[in-house]
Amino acid sequence: MSRPTAPHADHPDLRADCGSCFGLCCVALPFARSADFGADKAAGTPCGNLQEDFGCGIHARLRERGYPGCTVFDCFGAGQKVSQVTFGGRSWRTEPESARTMYEVFPVVRQLHELLRYTAEALDLPAAKAAHHELRRAYDRLDALTRDTAEALLATDVPALRAEVNTHLLRASELARAAVPGKKRNHRGADLLGARLRGAKLRGATLRGACLIAADLSGADLREADLIGADMRDTDLSGADLTGALFLTQPQLNAARGDTATRIPAALRRPGHWGS
């Protein structure tokens, strides 16, 4: 029997399906009153906006109600996996004795699903074909682990697994960016807080883990740039071209600022709060 094909990065299994989740991000995770959240909430305590059906009572008005932090969070499909697979559709409300374990498992699976999403994207890169065998092995291992028991998930050394998978993701990135003509800039892990990079030529650059908070990247060429882990809070992407950007996620776009002239990968959505 042949192996099932690995999902693409925009596959529904790697997208949050809040209707199939028990509101885990609204319960398991803590947040503090700040510019991102309108109130304090301890881990394991339901958010005051969580409804009986596990939906958010202010979902359509999160930013105007003081919860922009919620709009830049994405579980990459971990919420429904934990709710429907790990715990078999039994919620923390109907089985309160399982609540603590469910809350502990959720952030673990969320990290694994993030890695699945990156690995699936790398498998979509034709230029990274030489790395596809190891990437596929990594994907299958991650996928199997997300379907394991709660006990096995809690025993997982996530940092070690992330470091291992990142080796393959880095190789895929190097192969993909090598196909881009010209010299590529290296801003890996760079502190570019508030940097003035308007119109910068960053095609094929690596910005892995870079701090781009409030940086001006308006009109910049970010095609095929590696943006994995880059902090893009309040980054100005007005008129920027992110076509084919590597490992760019929806939360990164949601945290940034852009406009109708900003070009983004087809698999991602233009944030509703972006101006014209």
Residues 76/17, Cβ–Cβ less than 8 Å? no
Last residue of a domain, one of 158, 176, 194: 176
* Closest C-alpha among 73, 70, 92 to residue 21: 92
One domain for residues 142 and 171: yes
One domain for residues 71 and 197: no
What is the domain range of residue 219?
182-268
One domain for residues 160 and 205: no
One domain for residues 98 and 161: yes
One DSSP character per residue, the chain reads -PPPPPPPTT-GGGS--GGGS--GGGTTS-B-SSSS-SS-B-TTS--TTB-TTS-BTTGGGTTTTT-HHHHT---TTHHHHIIIIISTT--TTT-GGGHHHHHHHHHHHHHHHHHHHHHHHHHT-GGGGGGHHHHHHHHHHHHHHHTS-HHHHHT--HHHHHHHHHHHHHHHHHHHHHTS-S---B-TT-B-TT-B-TT-B-TT-B-TT-B-TT-B-TT-B-TT-B-TT-B-TT-B-TT-B-TT-BT--HHHHHHSB--TT-B--TTS---TT---
Residues 173/228, Cβ–Cβ less than 8 Å? yes
* Closest C-alpha among 64, 107, 115, 67 to residue 86: 107
pTM for this entry: 0.93
Neighbours of 127 (CB within 10 A): 15
- For the chain, the domain total comes to 2
One domain for residues 48 and 168: yes
Residues 135/168, Cβ–Cβ less than 8 Å? yes
Rounded to whole angstroms, how far apart are CA atoms 173 and 247? 9
Residue 117 placed within a domain: yes
pLDDT in tens, the chain (276 residues): 345 566 677 788 899 999 999 999 999 999 999 989 999 999 999 999 999 999 999 998 999 999 999 999 999 999 999 999 999 999 999 999 999 999 999 999 999 999 999 999 999 999 999 999 999 999 999 999 999 999 999 999 999 999 999 999 999 999 999 999 999 999 999 999 999 999 999 999 999 999 999 999 999 999 999 999 999 999 999 999 999 999 999 999 999 999 999 999 998 999 988 975
For residue 9, what pLDDT is reported? 73
| Residues linked to residue 206 through DSSP beta bridges, in sequence order | 186, 226
One domain for residues 73 and 162: yes
* Cα 72–chain centre separation: 9
Structure confidence by residue, pLDDT tens digits, 19-69: 999 999 999 999 999 989 999 999 999 999 999 999 999 998 999 999 999
- The residue whose two tokens read 């699945």 is 116
One domain for residues 89 and 213: no
One domain for residues 157 and 67: yes
One domain for residues 221 and 255: yes
Phi and psi angles of residue 206, each rounded to the nearest 5 degrees, phi first: -105, 125
